[in-house]
A = this chain, B = another copy of it.
């Protein structure tokens, strides 16, 4: 009954300190050299993959809860998380049988009755956040609820619990749309890069190739790049120019379109 005691303690802490009927889920995209991946957790003693997620403490802001959950569940810190959608269909959690999962984990007996409180009676409204990072710079670590925490190729994501496949789909749509009104790439490319490398990043996110001339025009329109010298190659006449982001302008574009209302 040691395990039952532990579970009970966790659930009591949640019921006392966390908001009822609200949760959050995190879609962390990883980019490196023309590959786009997403971070998934595998439930302990199971083949069930899910997005990392969490709940909101009564005394913390929603955004804080997202960063804390990311840290607790994956060990990752200092990412830039952005909200993309909130999921609230009545049946969004019915794909998941808590009992079945517990049984597979050999925990059915230890956990019997623990979720009977009204706190757990309704589905959660889940707030989705996403981030885009260089996956070679991150070492995700699973929490005690998971056996594994690893990067999956976007094209190979398995069937996930809950509505988590739909979450990834919508997060990816948001990320792609973001390309049309904000620059992307800071911290994903080396400090200096060629236009071809930047275009490759965009193409990887969009999942399609782009017209080179239109791409140059759109990017230059942001006025966010500083052109440096040429990359040292032989012959020099064919060497591409190197660029770097103008950090101030980059951040200005991330917080643009300000308007005072009231």
B interface footprint on A156-187 (CB within 8 Å = 1, 0 otherwise): 01111000010011001100110011000000
Asked if A125 and B257 sit within 8 Å, CB to CB, the answer is no
Q: Which residue of B lies closest to A65 (CB)?
A: B88
Question: What's the least CB distance linking A222 to chain B, in Å?
Answer: 12
Cβ contacts under 8 Å, A88 to chain B: 22, 56, 61-63, 65, 127
- The yes or no answer to A79 lying at the interface (CB within 8 A) is no
- The yes or no answer to A19 lying at the interface (CB within 8 A) is yes
The answer to whether A262 and B19 touch (CB under 8 A), given A62-B125, A88-B56, is: no
Which residues of A170-207 have CB atoms within 8 Å of chain B's CB atoms? Answer: 172-173, 176-177, 180-181, 207
- The yes or no answer to A89 lying at the interface (CB within 8 A) is yes
Asked if B122 and A19 sit within 8 Å, CB to CB, the answer is yes
Cβ contacts under 8 Å, A173 to chain B: 257-259
Question: What's the least CB distance linking A109 to chain B, in Å?
Answer: 30
Asked if B19 and A257 sit within 8 Å, CB to CB, the answer is no
Q: Which one of B65, B168, B176, B261 lies within 8 Å of A262 (CB-CB)?
A: B168
Q: Which residue of B lies closest to A61 (CB)?
A: B89
- Complex: how many Å from CA A168 to CA B36? 34
Cβ contacts under 8 Å, A59 to chain B: 90
Question: What's the least CB distance linking A204 to chain B, in Å?
Answer: 13
Question: What's the least CB distance linking A3 to chain B, in Å?
Answer: 29
Question: What's the least CB distance linking A152 to chain B, in Å?
Answer: 9
Question: What's the least CB distance linking A261 to chain B, in Å?
Answer: 5
Asked if A207 and B62 sit within 8 Å, CB to CB, the answer is no
Question: What's the least CB distance linking A121 to chain B, in Å?
Answer: 8
- The yes or no answer to A58 lying at the interface (CB within 8 A) is yes
Cβ contacts under 8 Å, A83 to chain B: 85-86
Cβ contacts under 8 Å, A127 to chain B: 86, 88, 125
List the 3 closest A-B pairs by CB distance, nearest first: A62-B88, A165-B262, A157-B262
> What would be 12 A-B contacts, judged by CB atoms less than 8 Å apart?
A20-B20, A22-B88, A62-B86, A62-B125, A86-B86, A159-B262, A165-B262, A172-B257, A173-B257, A173-B258, A173-B259, A177-B181
Other CB < 8 Å A-B pairs besides A83-B85, A160-B262, 13 of them?
A19-B20, A19-B122, A19-B125, A56-B88, A62-B86, A62-B125, A88-B127, A154-B261, A159-B262, A165-B261, A168-B262, A177-B181, A181-B181
